[in-house]
Structure 1
């Protein structure tokens, strides 16, 4: 169960960073936030939970 919680928390974190990247007016900050989102998404795709999401 703790692994499931960590996975859900990571998905929420990705969404928060996506929103921040869209709302920021500083182009450098927006680019850094998009890079963070890409890194977090890559980690999620490598997690064992990602297969369960694709099947759902």
Structure 2
């Protein structure tokens, strides 16, 4: 794991998990990458160094 990353445990409602997983699959991303992508988009851009 990159030293600039932090591992967390996340609990999601089943319906939200299913929706995110489907969105990730259609975008050809992992579930983790989909969540990061959406969070970065919501905050207004990519994290520093990316």
Flag whether TM exceeds 0.5 (same fold): no
Q: Higher helix proportion, which one?
A: 1
Q: Which one has the largest radius of gyration?
A: 1
Give the TM-score range, shorter chain.
0.3 to 0.5
**Which of 1 and 2 has higher RCO (CA within 8 Å, sep 6+)?**
1
